[in-house]
Structure 1
Amino acid sequence: MLTTSCVLDFVKWSTYCLQKIGCDGIIGSSAREDRCGVCNGDGHSCKIVKGDFNHTKGRAMKDSTKRSINSDWKIELPGEFQLAGTTVRYVRRGLWEKMSAKGPTKTPLYLMVNLSCRERWCVCVLGGGVCVCVSLSCRE
């Protein structure tokens, strides 16, 4: 979000002001992203799920039919995968990973992130549109 500031241009004798732009893209808007990264959200579209996870650091994506990327004890090669009625693109370079999906999705799509927290997953439920999850932090 941009902050409001003004700069006086002594050559032109005029003032230029920058106004706040909310996450909704509207000038002057006070819209902010919630803890789940949703613009004007209420913080309820993501949740912490506790359980047992034995992999090393990594990301996995799974749809409601149990089709998945990077789960079931395997790491996928980069590529495109069909999940939840949309194409998910998976890119991996060393330890860096990126998953992106252009929607809309036809069924729920779950992004699971192992944050190396003991027995803790973060799950993001995506409901359509474009979603790119580069990083996600757990907040209780």
Structure 2
Amino acid sequence: MSSKVKDGTSCSDYKGGVCIDGICEPVGCDQVLGSKATVDACGLCKGDNSSCKFYTGQYTLQHRANEYYPVVMVPAGARSIRVQEMDISNSYLAVRSLKKGTYYLTGDWTVDWPGRFQFAGTTFNYQRSFNRPETLYAAGPTNETLLFEILLQGKNPGISWEYTLPHPERKHNYTWSIVRSDCSAPCAGGPSNALLPLGTPSWPLTLTEAELCLPQQRVHYSRVSTKAICLQDQQMQVNSSLCNPHSKPAVGSHMCNTQPCPAYKESTSLWGLSESSRPGTLRPIGLKSVSISWLQTLTQCFCVVCSMVTSNTGQIRYRQA
């Protein structure tokens, strides 16, 4: 009959490790043979206890009657639960279900022996000896709320307790935000795509001939476009599907910089026109002056180049290009 157990058999119910060739070899929480990796108080392998919150306290109230007294209520999901006496006493630790009301340990004035107890989804290790304070520990997590009590027999030795709970998940806020583009031009109408000259004019120039330049003009209208983006906590842009589609703002484009563009003058002559021509008068070189009434609305006009812009009132007017 073999004196060794089969390789891979657990060394004991109390310690992690497996038997290999008759020797108990440690197994870390990463399931690697010989590894020393351990689980932190939050239940995270190789963790640093930063993923959960610690709750600690003491129960030191004294009572005259020998009775069950509540010490601490531990909620479901708790880990690293430890409840222990602060000194040796004749009292006993007890545990019951808050929802069911039934006792899992030392209930109805019946004291349980030390050992391992399975309840609330985890295993509790209950230790008691004649020369050490009582201790109750479970790695957790629990699946129900537990009420830890003391069955007082004489003086309360004081009970210390601790447990951990995961940090509550932060709920992100997703809201729509409007993003606007820059205005397409600095003033009303913006620059024309093309300012086409009238061509070779006939003299004297008539109003009808001047109007021929209007169909040749193409006008830019200054516009700004908008779009909606989804922001997480008003900081980071995320996928639009995370925002409420029913609250998405209307987007599109609209006119901007509607103030009139300032007039400017052409410093060169065109079609042989003299720069010395006065406003409202075209003076072809070598020809007599011809006064044209429609140009009198322009200031410092020295060339026959026109563009069409739209003012704030929507009326068409002429300006010098």
Instruction: Normalising by structure 2, report the TM-score.
Output: 0.22
Specify which structure has the higher proportion of helix. Answer: 2
Specify which structure has the higher proportion of strand. Answer: 1
Greater RCO, CA 8 A, separation 6+:
1
Q: Which has the larger radius of gyration?
A: 2
